[in-house]
Structure 1
Amino acid sequence: MTTAPMSGRKAQAARNDELILEAARAVFTADPGAPIAAVAERAGVGISALYRRYPSKEALLQKLCGDGLKLYIEVTERAIGEGGDPWDEFASYMRGIVDADTNSLTIKLAGTFQPTEELFRDAVRASELAIEVHGRAVEAGVLRPDVTPADIALLFEQLASLKLGDEERTSQLRHRFLALMLDSLRQPPAHRPLPGPAPDDTELSSRWNP
């Protein structure tokens, strides 16, 4: 069954919504206190167009975090559904969550708005899945038993806080340090070549340039 193409007006509305959400993520992960007008400006849409879709900053934050939770659930369910080697399943979950970058929202937006009932339900589901994928790895004897699901959640936040250079370089470095983490989490510990070039002093010092 093919989906009928959207009319010009609906297609534009969908595109505006995409632009608004992309802009909102960039604006609010940089500055949670930014006004909603900053989102409209970055998205290149009128403030009235934004308010037609999201009547308040609170509604926009709820949407952003709701989408983040759904993506977390999707990535984790996919990793569990792959089956096969227990370590590969756990590592696939870790890499998928790092790529999804849902924890950037957690770091910046936790506690800045009132969660909805749907957000609470999705958060419970995400937690259940995180516990399941962790438990499967521990039970298989491939993950250190003294590491908890909460430990893993905070490791994700540490990786999400790593930002250096452009998006591609940031992704390279996050996966480099994820590989270090995975080697230390594995039972018995592994020592594999690290992906991506190591950071250098020039990159680190460049952060101080105005």
Structure 2
Amino acid sequence: MSGRKAQAARNDELILQAARAVFTADPGAPIAAVAERAGVGISALYRRYPSKEALLQKLCGDGLKLYIEVTERALADDGDPWEAFAGYLRGIVDADTNSLTIKLAGTFQPTEELYHDAARSAVVATEVHRRAVEAGVLRPDVTVSDIALLFEQIASIKLGGEERASELRHRFLALAMDGLRVPPAHRGLPGPPTTDEELSARWSPSA
């Protein structure tokens, strides 16, 4: 890339990171808050995204594409069936695409591309689920919708900074996975448990 194109790419990445942080905290925030957090001028933001709606469409489109990528990677895994499914679960938790679903669903008009990608994500999620059930490693009474809501519940864990939140999310995913697996697994949980201080800190005005 030329220097100008490289700078534009860096600005775009800053804008998208800022938009994700701003809108998952407050979907009603103005687009100016994104420019301020990204450290770019509002005119630079508008040159790339002419409206808040366009920015939300881009965020959710990228999230869907990442979801599809993680799921297709699990489908391509011909190894142990449970480990392939577990890799899918961990990958989606790491991708944190469900934070966008929780906060942004219904706040903008989806594009045709978004509808297409959403349909594709449903197909691959159903397939990875079907394979795990047919392999006898996932409880047959667990549905695709159950897994989708599990992802949303885990994404709602936001204690501490990003690293601590990720640690806790994987801890609770491990708990859930023991209930999903056939036969039940009993393994140690990753990461230390939530402390009373972490829970009570949410009530502090400075939290």
Interval containing the TM-score (normalised by the shorter chain): over 0.9
Alpha-carbon distance between aligned partners in 1 of 2:101 and 2:171, rounded to the nearest angstrom: 22
Q: Does residue 167 of structure 2 align to residue 169 of structure 1? A: no
Q: Does residue 17 of structure 2 align to residue 22 of structure 1? A: yes
Quote the offset at 1:209 in angstroms.
1.4
Equivalent in the alignment of 1:197: 192
Which runs of 5 or more structure 2 residues have no equivalent in the other structure? none
Q: Secondary structure at the match of 2:44?
A: helix
Please give the per-residue CA displacement for 1:125-169, whole angstroms capped at 9, x wherever unaligned.
000000000000000111000000000000000000001001111
Q: Does residue 52 of structure 2 align to residue 52 of structure 1? A: no
CA RMSD in angstroms comes to 0.5
Question: Which consecutive aligned stretches of 4+ in structure 1 deviate over 2 angstroms post-superposition?
Answer: none
Q: Would you say how many aligned residue pairs link Structure 1 and Structure 2?
A: 205
Alpha-carbon distance between aligned partners in 2 of 1:48 and 1:203, rounded to the nearest angstrom: 40
Q: Secondary structure at the match of 2:103?
A: helix
Quote the offset at 1:203 in angstroms.
1.1
User: 1:117 corresponds to which letter in structure 2?
Assistant: E
Equivalent in the alignment of 1:68: 63
Please give the per-residue CA displacement for 1:50-94, whole angstroms capped at 9, x wherever unaligned.
000000000000000000000000001111112111101100000
Alpha-carbon distance between aligned partners in 1 of 2:195 and 2:63, rounded to the nearest angstrom: 32
Which runs of 5 or more structure 1 residues have no equivalent in the other structure? 1-5
Identical aligned residues as a percent? 82
Q: Secondary structure at the match of 1:67?
A: helix
Q: TM-score, normalised by structure 1?
A: 0.97
Equivalent in the alignment of 1:3: none
Q: Does residue 185 of structure 2 align to residue 208 of structure 1? A: no
Q: TM-score, normalised by structure 2?
A: 0.98
Equivalent in the alignment of 1:92: 87
Quote the offset at 1:202 in angstroms.
1.1
Equivalent in the alignment of 1:10: 5
Quote the offset at 1:124 in angstroms.
0.5
